[in-house]
């Protein structure tokens, strides 16, 4: 049976606010990610997840306990923990003979797993192996995707969507131009996905635009896709549904062409052609008598309403 959320009444105002948030909001907060260690995790995977958690900092939390969970066999533990901590993104690391350095990245919708991808991690180079200065906490990275599969293959398209969701950082509608500090490049080629993260250095040139120089910042790693679980099209559609209230309203009578020119349509009343000034001709000139008539027409006697009090 579906649980009834309102049945248990919150005891404090704070509790009430938290429950309201968990029930779903019109404008959602940024998604938070949890990093979970499997029971068979090795040090490489722990370090790896710590690095990614650091990159995502205010929107991430590394869970301390190891978890006896296998996302593809039984996702219940992940869903349970995610619901408790209100996480909607997760990363799960484990290691086994069959699947060495195993990484699962996924996301949840309404506390249920929406989609997840399993990878093998190789050529991992940690954040601390590089000498670049650290970036600001909560800095929004520039995301770059290259490679044919991201455009042509369905799974990769979904994967791209997930990676954007995972790495794009806080939502914003404005950005400080000198604050562009971090770039993440994800390249898919020959069955591998290359993840590279650099620090951006904006060098002054004579012109308005700066020249971009990159400094290796890490982490660097390569991924090979193993298993995946995709959301059905209908679920994906319902999950991506935008609330009606947030959709932009249609603006009447204003259109934009492909070139960006704005066209406006103005509705006017029918023009009175009798008043139209056309070319003056002697033949069309009014005679004196006509003029007099027109004047008398123009000024009709002012109508006055009155009533007469009847005599008693």
Partner 1 sequence: MSSNVSDLLQDIEEKEANAYKEVEVHKDIELNYDLGHLLASDTNPLNLKELRSNTNSFLQKLTRDNCQLVVNKLYALQSKVIDGFQVAQLPAPITLLPRSKPVPKPKPPTKWELFAKEKGIQKKKKEKLVWDDVAKEWKPRYGFKRINSERDDWLIEVPDNNTDPNVDLFAKKVEEKKERIAKNELQRLRNIARAQKLKIPGTGGVLPKLSDTKEELAKVVSLAKSSTASLGKFEETMKDEKPVKRTKKRKYGDNFGDVKAETEKSLEILDHIQNKNPKIDIDKAVNSLISTEEKE
Q: How far apart are CA 158 and CA 37, in angstroms?
A: 24
Point out which span in 90-98, 127-135, 182-190, 278-286 binds partner 1 (CB under 8 A): 182-190
For residue 83, state whether it binds partner 1 (rule: CB under 8 A).
Answer: no
- Give the nearest distance from C-beta 254 to partner 1 in angstroms: 17
Q: Is 18 in the site for partner 1 (CB under 8 A)?
A: no
Smallest separation, CB 260 to partner 1 (Å) = 13
Among 40, 42, 44, 185, binds partner 1 (CB under 8 A): 185
Does residue 230 interact with partner 1 by CB under 8 A?
no
| Residue 212 to residue 56: CA distance in whole angstroms | 23
Binding footprint of partner 1, residue count (CB under 8 A): 72
Q: Which 85-144 positions form the footprint of partner 1 (CB under 8 A)?
A: 88, 107-110, 114, 140-144
Residue 176 is a binding residue for partner 1 (CB under 8 A): yes
Least distance from C-beta 47 to partner 1, angstroms?
Answer: 20
Whole-number Cα distances in Å, 205 to 47, 158, 224: 39, 39, 40
**232 lies in the site for partner 1, by CB under 8 A:** no
Strand partners, 225: 119
Q: What φ, ψ does residue 221 adopt, rounded to 5°?
A: -165, 160
Residue with smaller CB distance to partner 1, 32 or 66: 32
> Closest separation between CB of residue 95 and partner 1, Å?
24
**Of the candidates 170, 50, 38, 158, which has an alpha carbon nearest to the alpha carbon of residue 104?**
38
Q: Distance between CA atoms of 115 and 90, rounded to whole angstroms?
A: 11
**Of 12, 64, 73, 174, which lies in the binding site for partner 1, with binding defined by CB under 8 A?**
174
Three-state DSSP class for residue 111:
coil
Unique residue bearing structure tokens 């139209």: 276
- 33 φ/ψ angles, rounded to the nearest 5 degrees: -115, 145
């Amino acid at each position: 049976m579906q649980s009834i959320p309102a049945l248990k009444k919150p005891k404090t105002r704070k509790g009430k606010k938290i429950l309201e948030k968990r029930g779903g909001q019109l404008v959602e907060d940024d998604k938070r990610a949890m990093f979970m260690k499997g029971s068979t995790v090795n040090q490489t995977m722990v370090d790896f997840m710590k690095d990614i958690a650091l990159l995502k900092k205010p929107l991430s939390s590394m869970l301390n306990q190891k978890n006896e969970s296998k996302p593809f066999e039984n996702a219940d533990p992940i869903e349970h923990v995610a619901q408790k901590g209100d996480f909607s993104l997760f990363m799960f690391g484990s290691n086994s003979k069959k699947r060495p350095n195993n990484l699962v990245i996924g996301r949840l919708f309404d506390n249920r797993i929406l989609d997840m991808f399993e990878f093998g991690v190789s050529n991992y180079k940690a954040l601390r192996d590089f000498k670049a200065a650290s970036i600001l906490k909560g800095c929004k990275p520039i995301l770059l995707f290259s490679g044919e599969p991201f455009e042509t293959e369905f799974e990769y398209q979904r994967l791209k969507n997930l990676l954007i969701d995972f790495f794009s950082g806080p939502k914003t509608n404005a950005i400080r131009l000198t604050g562009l500090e971090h770039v993440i490049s994800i390249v898919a080629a020959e069955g591998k996905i290359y993840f590279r993260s650099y620090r951006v250095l904006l060098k002054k040139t004579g012109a308005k635009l700066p020249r971009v120089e990159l400094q290796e910042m890490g982490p660097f790693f390569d991924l090979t896709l193993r298993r995946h679980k995709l959301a059905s099209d209908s679920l994906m559609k319902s999950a991506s549904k935008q609330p009606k209230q947030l959709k932009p309203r249609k603006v009447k009578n204003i259109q934009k062409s492909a070139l960006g020119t704005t066209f406006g349509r103005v509705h006017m009343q029918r023009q009175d052609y009798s008043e139209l000034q056309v070319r003056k001709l002697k033949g069309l000139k009014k005679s004196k008598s006509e003029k007099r008539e027109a004047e008398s027409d123009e000024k009709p006697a002012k109508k006055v309403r009155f009533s007469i009090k009847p005599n008693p």
